[in-house]
Structure formats: C-alpha cells, structure tokens
Amino acid sequence: MNEEPTLQPSRDEARAAIASASQTQQQTRKFIAGTQAGPALIWWGLIWVAMFTYAQFRGPGSNYVCWIFITAGFIGGALLNKLGPQPVKRPADWRGGVFWLALFGYAAIYAMLLVPWDMLPNQSPAQAALMDHKMTAYFSIVPMFAYVVIGLFVERFLLWLGLLMTGLILVGYFFIWHYFYLWIGAVGGGTLIISGLYIRKFWK
C-alpha cells in the first residue's frame, strides 16, 4: 500500500492552529482597514443611493444619466485609491487587476450572449420596463458576485456582504416591483455604506 496514515492533531496543536488562523484573520482585517476598502464601499453606497433614487423618479429615455453616475463612481474610486496609502508593489499585483477585468469582461460576454437583442427594437413600454428591471438587477449583482469570490479567498465578511446584497436585489426584483430602484438605492446602497463604516470603525 502506498497510503500514509493520517495523524490526528493533539489538543494543543489544534488550539495553536486555531489561534494562528484567528491572528491571520485579524491581520488581514487590519490590512483591509488600512487600505481604501472602507471609503470605497461608502463611496459606492452613496453612488447607489443617488443613482437608483434618480432611476426611480426619472422620465423615460434618460438611462444615460445612470452611466454618468457609474463613471463618477469609477473616477471617485480611482481617486480614493490614489489619495490613500500606497501599498508596496508585489509581483503578484497583476492578478488583482486581471481579476476585475476578467469579471467585467465575462459579465459583458454573458450579456452579449444572453440578452435578446433582436427583441429590443420592438418592445412595448411594459416590455421595456421589464427589460430595464432585468438589466438593473443583472448589473447590480455582477459586482456582488465579485465580492463573493473575493470573500472566498481574502475575507469572509465580503462573502456574506455579497450574498446578502444579491439576496436583497432579488427580493426587490421579485416582490417590490414598483419601488425596485428605490429599494436597491436604500437597502443596497445603505448596506454598502454601513459595511464601509463598520470596516473603518472596528477593523483598525
């Protein structure tokens, strides 16, 4: 037989391993609190509140204003990164950028592949409203999906935040149809802001 026997860790070894894992988690949280993650979450929360409140009360054909909000979100996020403490560059840093690029690239591919583009020109107003709800839910869930994936590998908090936000968006989509945008703005944006404040206050 080529198999090695599996040895059970002793009580002290298990305790030491748990203590070490807990210490690593605290260090990771301190590191995250020292970056611009907290302010970035607050910033995106404010963008969500403003953009979706606008979307709830806008007139027809004013989708482009939402793109102005999104662009402002990215520019603000980049500025926050620039103004914050600059971490030491490591050879593996390329992976973070590629991860976000891959995520948004694949999200665009999914939309290109699955959206019924040939049906869009012949839509009635009710169909247009449904499509608008669908696309809003989709593009709100994509970044939450990124939080879940990052949460799996970096910090569990982001995993739960991503899953909670996804759940909230779907609840709004299915049950709060008439106030869907207001719901995402208030509950989604609010959750992002509270999470950012929580990281700033308790992870330092």
Partner 1 sequence: MNEETNLPPNRDEARASLASIDATRAEARRNIGGSEFGPNMIWCGLLWIVIWGYIQFLPGPVYLLWILAAAFFVAFAVMKKIRPSPVKSAPDLRVAALWLVIIMYAAIFWFLLQPQGLSKNLPSADVVIAAHQSARNVVMGALKFAAYAVIVSLFFNVIISLTVRPSRFFVILGLLLTAVVLVGYYCVPEWFGLWMSVVGGGTFILSGTFIRKFWK
Residues that bind partner 1 (CB under 8 A): 2, 88, 91-92, 95, 98-99, 102, 106, 109-111, 113-116, 118-119, 122-124, 126-127, 130-131, 134-135, 137-138, 141, 145, 148-149, 152-153, 166, 170, 173
Least distance from partner 1 to the Cβ atom of residue 4, Å: 9
Here the tokens at position 50 are: 């403003």
DSSP 204: -
Residue 191: Cβ-neighbour burial (10 angstroms; 0-12, 13-18, 19+): middle
Q: Which is nearer to partner 1, 57 or 86 (CB)?
A: 86
Give the nearer residue to partner 1 in terms of CB position, either 16 or 167. 167
Q: Are 169 and 151 in contact (CB under 8 A)?
A: no
- Closest approach, Cβ 161 to partner 1, in A, equals 14
CB of 35 to partner 1, least distance (A): 16
Nearer of residues 68 and 110 to partner 1, judged by Cβ: 110
The answer to whether the beta carbons of residues 158 and 151 sit under 8 Å apart is yes
| Residue whose C-alpha is closest to residue 82's, from 40, 46, 113 | 40
Please state the closest distance from residue 135 (CB atom) to partner 1, in A: 8
Judge contact between 73 and 192, C-beta under 8 A. no
